[in-house]
Every structure is written in C-alpha cells, then in structure tokens.
Amino acid sequence: MGSYSELKLGVFRIGSIKNEIDPFIMTLYRETDKRVKFVKTSAPEFQDNYDTEGVEEDEIELVQYVCPAHVIRDRLELMGFTKQVAETGFQNGLQIEIERFEGYLTKSHGDAFQEVVQLLKTLTLSKWQQSLQKIYQQNLQQKRYGDPTLSELDPLLRYMLTQEWYGFPGFDYRHFIRLLTDICDVGEELVYDLTDLHLGGWIDGADDLVNYAEDVIADGFDISRRVIVLTEGNSDRWILERSLKLLYPHLVDYFRFLDFEGARIGGGAGALANIVKAFAGAGIVNRIIALFDNDTAAESAITTLKSISLPDNIAVLQYPTLTLANQYPTLGPTGLFAMNVNGLAGSIELYLGADVLVDAEGNLLPIQWRGYDAKLGKYQGEIMDKANILERFNSKLSICESDTSKIPEYDWEGIKAIFTEMRRAFHQKDSREILEMLQD
C-alpha cells in the first residue's frame, strides 16, 4: 500500500502523487512556507484527511507547505508560467491526449474509448476551466467509474471527476496550477500536504525538501535556478534588495544580489559591463540579470556588449522608462527647464518615489547636466542632493519594514516598475523551454 503527496486548495482536493513529492510543484514553495505541527489522531483534522489504518500513535506530525494562491501565481509568472504559456501547454497536452486515446481505438475493446475521444476533440480550454470552476466552487467530489450519481452530470463533468487532476492534459502540473489561480479565490491557501509520505517513511519531514527538489531538477532545468542580479553599484544593490524583501517577500529567495562591498568590486556602468563580459566568458550557468541605469553612461557601456555574443542565460536590462521622468526639472546654463530625462539621467535615485525626491518647499530636486558623450550625442545627467535622497528613502524603508500597513502611504511606482522588468527578464526564454519540454 502506497503513500501520497497531495495538493489542495483550502479543502478542495486537486491531485496526488504516489510515494514521492513532485519536485516541480515543490519549486513553487520556499522552506519558510513549511508548516509542521502535531495533532491527535482522534481529531477530525486527522480522521477526515488521512488513512488511519495501521496508525497506532495517539499523536502524529503533519507536514505541509502552505502558501496563498496569489503568491504561487507570482512565483509561477517569475518562472515563465504565464497565462499564455499555460494555455499553450494545455492545448499541446490535449492534442497528445487525443492521439493517445485514438491509439486505443484500434486495440481490443477499443470502442470503449470512442466517447472519450469525441469529448476530447470538442474540448476547449474555456470549457475545461468553466467545469473546473464549477467543481471548485461547489466542492464536487471525485468519483469512481460506475458511480450511479455520475449519470446526473454532463459528459465533461463525468470525465473530469473520474480522472486524476480532473483530466488535465499534461505532465507538468505547474500549467494546471497557473490556470487554477485564474478561477479561484487568490487569498485561498494552496497546500502541498506531505504528511502521508512522512508517516509512510518516504520522506523525513524535518528535511529541507525545497532544496532537495531543486537539486533533483537543477541539472536540466534553468527555470528552477535562482537569478543573480548585477547592478551598477552598492546603492542600487541595497535599495533593490531591501525593497524586494518589503514589497515582494515571497520572491526574495528567487534572486541573489551581488555584494559589491564584500567582493570589492568597483561601481559604474563600465565596471558592470566588464563583469558581464567576465561572466559570459567563464560560462556561468546561473541566470544573470545585468541591471543598468536608464541614462547615457549606461547606454554607452551597453554598446560595448553588442560586439560579443552573450548566452541566453544573461539578460542585459536598463531601468524602465519612468512617467515621472517625462517632464522633469533640469538645471543647465539657461537655468531650470523641464524635459524628458528618460535615457539621459535615470539613475536609481529617480525611481525611489516622488515623496523622497522633493526639497523642503515640495519641489522636485533637479537633474544637473554633467558630461557629453560625443559618440551617442547625448548629455549625462545626475540628480542633485543624492545623499539626502538616499537617507530619506532609507527612512521610508525602515518605517514600512517596522509596520507594513504603511506601505500604501508611500510612492513605490518606480521601484515596482524595476521589479516588473526583472520578473519578465527570462519570459521569452522560459516560454520556449517550457513548451519544448512538452514536446519531448
């Protein structure tokens, strides 16, 4: 008799895996999501959810990984499992299922599969999701073939309720989970319950099972590795590192920021370009994001990278276009003048929020023009009073770190725009690799 790992959305049972964990599902969790507690075997929490046969202890240990659905969706998006990719994965898997069942038609008793083939040929993603939503909302229970109550249901519901994972066509259940997050209550908790495996001796609940899962699949799947983020300097690093932890704590473990101070690495766009070249030449297999400022110096440095062929695990990005910068005060020979400084003076400070970029009178601190790049035909700008801007942003972070309910009171538009770019950095590569996996 086997043991099972089971995925649930609240009380809604999604699917199970016999005698093992699914390492792909485990990549959606962090070890901090683990919940371990002891319950009495006489308690309904144990009696209603687990096989009690052969259990002699008065108290057992529950081992679960628990995370809200909206957090899981963010992590899936980061890995490249976007809605579009999941939909394509469904369609590809459906075609494979149709071909598989058509193969049964030519075998002995093949007529028994005729109804399933016809159902699958007319099945659409929309129909499947609508039926899944009905099953979820009404908490319909899965049934065995021959159950007399099946006759009361339409053919698609009959099929889905008698199939593992509700007839989802595919081997990577991350597609299923991504589609599920579009129809469920995003605050509902997605629970990967490993208690049965723990009781059966298949796993040790005390182990770091997230790390184990990553080791299992790391050799073949880049999307499971952490992303190394390279910035132009230490200020960029601590700003982004702390902001990520504050605004997107559930994504922190998926990124690693290079420590400039600890590594004694010089800052600036030119130095960052040289690091990128060195990493490319060394054949580093980790995914790397080289994050440049949105200014002239960065553009000049990036042009030096265009002469070499970078591997697709290195993404070269600039801070995104910022609405605030479209009409921003600048200081030049003729005095103050508002203009679009995107691509000319977009250092990290410009992304810290209008609430820290103003002086005592409430005016935006201006950009001052410094040097001229003859090759690009552009000036390089720098915001004034950087030290005080950073000090105010540090205070802003500290206030929100001590009381996260204050986060909405401040301007995070620029910082969030940077994180959006980082999260999308490998979507094209991921989409290609994920869909290739479906065809192997």
pLDDT at 26: 92
Contact in structure between 237 and 258 (CB atoms under 8 Å): yes
Where residue 73 falls among pLDDT bands split at 50, 70, 90? Answer: very high
Pairing state between β 255-257 and 294-295: unpaired
pLDDT bin (cut points 50, 70, 90) of residue 307 is confident
Beta bridge partners, 62, equal: 37
pLDDT value, residue 32: 94
Closest CA to 16 of 130, 126, 165, 217: 165
Predicted confidence at residue 261, as pLDDT, reads: 61
pLDDT at residue 266 tops 70: no
pLDDT of residue 112: 81
Q: What local confidence, expressed as pLDDT, does residue 434 receive? A: 83
Residue 239 pLDDT level (bands cut at 50, 70, 90): very high
Tens of pLDDT, residue by residue over 117-176, are 999 999 999 999 999 999 999 888 888 887 888 888 999 999 999 998 999 987 789 999
Confirm if 155 and 119 have CB atoms less than 8 A apart.
Answer: yes
- How many percent of the chain have pLDDT more than 90? 57
Could you tell me which of 419, 255, 438, 430 has the C-alpha nearest to residue 348? Answer: 419
Residue 237 pLDDT level (bands cut at 50, 70, 90): very high
Query: Which residues, other chains included, contact 100 with Cβ-Cβ below 8 Å and sequence gap of 6+?
Result: none
Mean pLDDT in the chain?
89
Q: What is the pLDDT of residue 249?
A: 95
pLDDT, mean of residues 324-339? 89
437 or 413, greater pLDDT: 413
Is residue 263 predicted with pLDDT exceeding 60? no
What distances in angstroms separate CA 233 from CA 149, 241, 257, 287, one per listed residue? 65, 12, 11, 19
Q: Is the separation of the CB atoms in 191 and 37 below 8 Å?
A: no
More confident site: 334 or 353: 353
φ and ψ at 417, to 5 degrees?
-65, -40
Residue 221, pLDDT above cutoff 60: no
The pTM of this model reads 0.80
pLDDT in tens, 353-405: 999 999 989 999 999 998 888 888 888 999 999 999 999 999 999 999 999 99
Question: What pLDDT does 332 receive?
Answer: 79
Q: What's the one-letter identity of residue 73?
A: R
pLDDT of 30? 94
